[in-house]
Structure 1
Amino acid sequence: MPPLRMLFNFAVMAVIAYVLLAGVLFFFQSRLIYYPDYGRHIAITPVDAGLAYEPVEISTVDGETLHGWFVPAPAATGTVLFFHGNAGNISHRMEYVSMFHRLHYNTFIFDYRGYGDSTGAPSEPGTYRDAQAAWEYLTKKRNTQPDRIVLFGESLGGAVAAWLAVRERPALLVLASVFTSIPDMGAKLYPFLPVRLLSRFEYNTLESLRSVTSPVFVAHSPSDEIVPFTQGQALYEAAPHPKQFLELQGGHNNGFIFMRKEWADALDEFIRMNLR
């Protein structure tokens, strides 16, 4: 085969492979973002950590049923509304629940649609509806005052929490290992593809923060192997005052564990300073 012909065939194959890869990225984005089947079943409950709790079921405006736990703390000074990341379920966040209990904060933690024992399948609009349903459960069913609620989001949960913080008036917003947006993350992971054109998801935490009026606490690790440290810094820069940045240690999924006491002390001080 002549060299030019071989080169032409190679170029055609490369273009086809590129288009196929772009197509996979476009049509299967949800599978790249959500991992509800990673530890799908509830592994443990707060009782296994020595904590009393109330199982909760809440309904969303579009008919899904969300499963969660309300974990009361003795002499509680506030309530944490917890938004977990894109993998696993509420039973994989017991370290957080135990920490907040020790610090005397109630915790309401729930699974998004399609996660754990919640019904449905995850989507970006769906997670926002889930967040609104969780907020209404605390403020209407439990009569919790908004200025006693702390929104806490880890990773993807931070984008959901920031979205809610724009629409409601929580006492403060906490972002742990959170990205600026899905297109920003996609551009980092697939720099050779036009991700910003292909993305069907936003989860634009950075944009939300520009409209948040509550105090903001941002925690991120320079060793985060999934979400770049620079994205955590960008979120902090965009946040309103008062705000605080805590530099963690360790990777994306273990930064909290590697800095447990420092994390708890710094977070507790910031919350107590800003609970109105």
Structure 2
Amino acid sequence: MTIKIHAAIKSILTIVILVWLLMSLIVFFNQKNLIYVPLKKYTNTPKSYGLDFESIKLSTKDNETINSWFIPHKNSRATLLFLHGNGGNLSTRLDSIKIFHQLGLSVFIIDYRGYGESSGSPSEEGTYIDAETALIFLKDIKNLAEDEIIIYGRSLGGAVAIWLANKYKSLGLIVESSFTSIIDMGKYKYPYLPIKYLANIHYPSIEIISNVNTPSLFIHSKHDEIVPYEFGKNLFNSANEPKDFLDINGLHNDGFLTSGRIYTVGIEKFLKNKLKK
């Protein structure tokens, strides 16, 4: 009887270990597809929201072509460089573009490589290059000064925005619904796997944010079901002054809409008090 029990325990442990190894291998080899979920087809354009726009192709230093939209405002307070999240493309951000435009901002939004009409395949280094290319375009081609550009990123775009704000000065940084690092996200999603050793995509925002010296606004919902609220708070706590934190309502992908005036008034307050615009 004892021998049978030991054999059963051994079999169960073997199965658990094999499943653990299999899951680790799946995460390791599939992490790019888990993190980047691009949509190639555009569902609409700013025209459908009554907004004029320019469709602009940017060339990166590693020879990729990045598609972008520039939505001007007649009485622009500043230009917001919009770095979107890990899914969709430009056309799935039209509600946000309209909100920022109503706040008196011109908007310049890019699709990372592999998204929409942009060439190539997404990668961590690629998203950094694409964002840097966009910022240089605003400065060199649109002739905007550093204090006329706000760097904004939502979710994964928040990590890209933090990286960019650490490298270039700007009028302000807005980070919405973002995480501390991919490793922290992996540990949260897969607490039973050795994510630290499996991850080859990092986005280490928590290590970078303390080096950023730009007025910053962090936005997060306590009801975010994808990126924990505490991750947004940890970024805020590690950031330098001047900084603000805006609590919103709703889920990860719709908090900016369901929060209504909480969201727009919070951003307006940041623009007025911190950016003096």
Q: Same fold (TM over 0.5)?
A: yes
- Residue type matched to 2:140 in 1? K
CA–CA separation in structure 1 for the residues paired with 2:233 and 2:151 = 19
- Residue type matched to 1:11 in 2? L
CA–CA separation in structure 2 for the residues paired with 1:191 and 1:12 = 20
CA–CA separation in structure 2 for the residues paired with 1:220 and 1:246 = 7
How many residues in Structure 1 have an aligned counterpart in Structure 2? Answer: 274
Map of 1:66-81 to 2, 5 A cutoff? 66-81=66-81
Matched, 1:272 2:272: yes
User: Shift of residue 4 of structure 1?
Assistant: 2.5
User: Shift of residue 10 of structure 1?
Assistant: 2.5
CA–CA separation in structure 2 for the residues paired with 1:64 and 1:99 = 30
User: Shift of residue 199 of structure 1?
Assistant: 1.1
Q: Tell me the equivalent position of 1:31.
A: 33
User: Shift of residue 8 of structure 1?
Assistant: 2.0
Q: Secondary structure at the match of 1:151?
A: strand
Structure 2 length as normaliser, TM-score?
A: 0.96
User: Shift of residue 273 of structure 1?
Assistant: 3.0
Q: Tell me the equivalent position of 1:51.
A: 51
CA–CA separation in structure 2 for the residues paired with 1:275 and 1:68 = 26
Q: Tell me the equivalent position of 2:18.
A: 16
Q: Percent identity?
A: 39
Q: Once superposed, what is the RMSD of the aligned Cα atoms?
A: 1.2
Q: Tell me the equivalent position of 1:169.
A: 169
Conserved? CA contact 1:84–1:157, under 8 Å:
yes
- Residue type matched to 1:57 in 2? K
Q: Secondary structure at the match of 1:7?
A: helix
Q: Tell me the equivalent position of 1:249.
A: 249
User: Shift of residue 275 of structure 1?
Assistant: 3.2
Conserved? CA contact 2:215–2:275, under 8 Å:
no
Structure 1 length as normaliser, TM-score?
A: 0.96
Map of 1:1-276 to 2, 5 A cutoff? 2-37=4-39, 40-275=40-275
Conserved? CA contact 1:171–1:274, under 8 Å:
no
CA–CA separation in structure 1 for the residues paired with 2:149 and 2:271 = 10
CA–CA separation in structure 1 for the residues paired with 2:88 and 2:248 = 22
CA–CA separation in structure 2 for the residues paired with 1:274 and 1:148 = 13
User: Shift of residue 239 of structure 1?
Assistant: 1.2
CA–CA separation in structure 1 for the residues paired with 2:63 and 2:30 = 25
**Any unmatched runs of 5+ in structure 1?**
none
